[in-house]
Amino acid sequence: MSRFSRRDFIIKTPAVVMAAAVSVELLHATENGQIDSVPSTKKGHEIRSMYPSTLDGIILRSPGGNLAISLGVDPVGRLSYSIAEGDIEVLDSSPLGLRVDGVDLGEGAKITGRAVVREIDEAYSIFGNHSQARNRAKEAVIPMKTSGKRFSLIVRAYDDGAAVRYILPEGARHIESDSTGWQLPEKTGRVVWSEYDPAYEGLSHATALAGIPQDRPVMAPITFEVEHHYLSISEADCESFSDMSIKRRGNLLQATFPLEPKGWDTQSTIVDARPNVLHGNYMGQLASPWRTTVVARDLTALVNSDLLTNLSPPPAQDMDFAWVKPGRALWSWWSVGNPPYDELETWYDAAAKLMWEYYLIDDGWIAWGRSGKDRWAMLKDISDYGKSVGVKTLVWGQYTEMPNPKARRAWLENAKAAGVEGVKLDFPPPASASCINWWYMGTLQDCAELRLLVNFHGSVKPTGMERTYPNSFTREAVRGDEYHMSRYKRIAPLEQDVTLPFARLLAGAGDITPVMMNPTELSTAGFTWPHEFAQAIVALSPVTAFADHYKYYLDSPLKDLFREIPTVWDETLVLSCTDIGQVVAYARRKDDSWWIGVMNGGKERNIEISLDFLDKPGHGTLVYDDASRDAAVERRERMVKSTDVLALKLRPAGGFVARITPQATRDSKPS
């Protein structure tokens, strides 16, 4: 269908308004459209405005011209949008609106003034699937009015997606619900979604659209296939709104707030009112988060999309995050609980032998105490020991010790004084609008000021704010290896690892605490060592806390790989053998070394991996499943080149790992 005559849009004779200097095409159905120059407020951001008399037929194209977001009014008078990529309409006419103080902003809305269009083009560094992000988009700010309430609809078009948000009416008091939705086309294929859980620890599934429960909340992101495209929907820059979940009604996926079904008062959400804490403002006015749609032609483009971080604000100009360093963390809780204080030095020594950067002290430390020393003094002592062997300290804390901004700040200052590098904060209240403001935004600001890394556990999903606060290096909000523990009688389903990368992990880094090596734990589901190691390659977490006891890593035939495994990457490819929900295969590059991680689901299969991404021949360490044992590997060392194709036979719950370096400059045997 032509993007100039979509169904469900009222189209009159279009007038084409173009400004070559701005490289913007904006079509609208009006006879008196005009475009005027508006001074640019930021270098690299060109701005123009137009004055259409009706919204019907406005089309905003992405900078590359491949993606178009169309705005209009549907047959029942609802403000709507659709998305096309190339000649394919990947999202049908979908509702827009936000119910504020009894008025749905999407019903009967009219344009009231100049629609300002700006072009955004900037680059920034990230810790992620690649090291540099480019924020290149066109944004339209459209002033509107309905039922006496003035607001603005903000629309952005990227080459890899689109987003909308609302600037609220002045004096808005109560947010009731969100009418924004995503109308999936009839040709929608497989859908990847996660069960409802406020802490995002529900299972992930790959099913037909009908597999999503009707009229019950599930968790974002949701990913789906449409005519050789992959779309993923979520939210970005959530600073003072309740966490968004999704409800299905037929083919419509609609935003919903299950944690606050009756809504919330805007003023009561501002618990941490300090001016340097983000409060959900955009252009100086209170705004909703972005409602986002990634559009990708393949899985590599899907995984590499920076849409959520692009839509989030850059760091404050007075903030310096050069001190933030990614790395690997040794951790005891999963394997042995909390070791006695007198044994902690052995854990730090083990981290040093593994050449890992961090040791994470978990919950047992809150009961520390000795004659003449409280827990903070003891934490300082062990942190100092860690520094003496080159290992920095991360420490666990919980909401009950910091139930308000003042108590939180005091706790964090104590942690900083004790010499720790970062904190893992657990068991927060549900992610209501007020919690998002004071627990998440306030904590991020405090930790940035104190130069502390922060890992939220039991938490809400990320929404791109790791761009604003690079010290937010990972968070849980995920069902990871903590859900495979024999002492809690938990066994992970084989489908979780091969579905999760295209569900929750598309929202941002996830602390899945990967790589269990204990043979007893492996045997309950049949996971293999290569499968487990591949978790650390596939699941992004700039500071990765490894699950198991250090003895399994130090005594492993993969010890050299554990010493070298990166946690952030310069390039990421999703390999063509990947089949969502069945098998996942990533190739990631850090500097001049490539790492391949493959995880198989519940069925034996044969796959092939082409090494055509290699620029030149290299030395390959290839790690295969052992034919008969979970806790063993078959390791091969050989030269590989771009014309090679690796043929793999994967066991159920099996995997494969490769490290490819430019040349054999090291002893390839584990030391």
Tell me the C-alpha to C-alpha distance, in Å, between residue 105 and each of 77, 114, 145, 267, 310: 12, 18, 8, 20, 26
Backbone φ and ψ for 49, nearest 5 degrees, come out as: -135, 155
CB neighbours of residue 146 within 10 Å:
19
| Omega before residue 221 within 30° of 0, cis | yes
C-alpha pair distances (Å), 198 with each of 115, 193, 220, 242:
38, 14, 11, 11
Calpha distance 359→421 (Å, rounded): 10
Helices (H) and strands (E) in the chain, counts: 13, 42
User: Which residues, other chains included, contact 442 with Cβ-Cβ below 8 Å and sequence gap of 6+?
Assistant: 271, 272, 274, 277, 405, 408
By the 10 Å C-beta count (0-12 exposed, 13-18 middle, 19+ buried), 665 is classed as exposed
Q: Would you tell me how many other CB atoms lie within 10 Å of the CB of residue 44? A: 12
Q: How many CB atoms lie within 10 A of CB 126?
A: 16
- The pTM of this model reads 0.92
Give CA–CA dist 361/338, Å, rounded: 8
Count of CB atoms within 10 A of residue 391's CB? Answer: 25
Q: How far, in Å, CA of 88 to CA of 525, rounded?
A: 42
Residues of the chain with pLDDT under 70: 1-57, 664-671
> Which contiguous run of DSSP H or E holds residue 68?
strand 67-73
Quote the pLDDT of residue 309. Answer: 98
Q: What is the DSSP annotation of 146-173?
A: ETTEEEEEEEEEETTEEEEEEEPPTT--
Both structure tokens of 391: 């290992």
Q: What is the DSSP letter of 460?
A: P
* 195 three-class SS: coil
| Predicted pLDDT at 49 | 53
Cross-strand bridge partners of residue 165: 154
Half-sphere exposure of 235 (CA within 13 A, CB side): 27
| pLDDT for residue 664 | 57
Reduced DSSP (H G I as helix, E B as strand, rest coil) percent helix, strand, coil of the chain, to 5: 20, 35, 45
Strand-pairing partners, residue 608, are 647
Per residue in 400-417, pLDDT (tens digit) is 999 999 999 999 999 999
Give me the pLDDT at residue 114, please.
Answer: 83
Which residue(s) pair with 384 in the sheet? none
Q: In 10 A of CB 295, how many CB atoms?
A: 29
* Phi–psi pair at 84, nearest 5 degrees: -125, 145
Q: Give the span between the Cα atoms of 175 and 102, in whole angstroms.
A: 9
CB 35 within 8 A of CB 17: yes
The pair of structure tokens assigned to 195 is 């069960």
- What pLDDT score does 19 carry? 26
Q: Is 279 exposed, middle or buried (0-12, 13-18, 19+ CB in 10 A)?
A: middle
Q: Are 241 and 180 in contact (CB under 8 A)?
A: no
Six-digit token pair at 34? 């005009």
Tokens 């002893």, residue? 667
Provide the residue count of the chain: 671
**Domains assigned to the chain:** 15-310 (2.70.98.10), 478-493+515-541+569-671 (2.60.40.1180)
Locate 180 and state its tokens: 């924004």
The Cα 195–Cα 201 span in angstroms is 8
